[in-house]
């Protein structure tokens, strides 16, 4: 279960998240396919900011692990889109905290808890690469899956 500290941090970072700058949006669009970008813009401001933070952390972690040279763009796409399935839950920050604490008791809470599978389905329908889809589904090859999980542990 999520720690109280993690949930408190989630509330603060979501409430204070700044919209991506023009430069940051351009950086994101240079990584994502057009159809993936159409999904990305459906993220809330906080989710867009979180996705970019995860990508940046992933790039640093991959470099430290000496695998940065072999990072395919499909893996970097997964870093940006790892939470894309959450758009189907349509939950705000407080409701997400409640869903985390209470579990999948309602349809929307269930959608939130199933975000990996839902995200993979959205990306597959959008024509994403199999590597991206697998990593978003919580599958895929190591070391990428583990490095992405570390990058997401913010």
**Percent of the chain predicted with pLDDT > 70:** 99
Average pLDDT of the residues in 42-55: 98
What is the C-alpha separation between 91 and 94, in angstroms, rounded? Answer: 8
Instruction: Enumerate the domain spans of the chain.
Output: 4-152
Which DSSP category does 154 fall into?
A: -
Q: pLDDT, tens digit, for every residue of 76-109? A: 999 999 999 999 999 999 999 899 899 999 999 9
> For every residue of 48-106, which 3-state class applies, written as one string?
HHHHHHHHHHHHHHHHHCCCHHHCCHHHHHHHHHCCHHHHHCCCCHHHHHHHHHHCCCC
């Amino acid at each position: 279960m999520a720690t109280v500290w993690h949930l408190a941090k989630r509330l603060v970072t979501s409430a204070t998240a700044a919209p991506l700058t023009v430069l940051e949006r351009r950086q994101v669009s240079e990584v994502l396919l057009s159809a993936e970008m159409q999904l990305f813009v459906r993220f809330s401001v906080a989710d867009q900011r979180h996705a970019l933070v995860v990508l940046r952390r992933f790039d640093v972690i991959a470099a430290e692990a000496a695998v940065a040279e072999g990072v395919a763009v499909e893996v970097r796409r997964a870093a940006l889109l790892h939470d894309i399935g959450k758009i189907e839950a349509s939950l705000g920050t407080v409701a997400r905290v409640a869903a985390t604490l209470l579990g999948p008791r309602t349809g929307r809470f269930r959608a939130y808890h199933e975000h990996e599978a839902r995200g993979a389905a959205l990306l597959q329908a959008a024509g994403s690469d199999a590597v991206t889809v697998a990593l978003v589904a919580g599958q895929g090859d190591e070391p990428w899956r583990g490095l992405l999980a570390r990058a997401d542990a913010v």
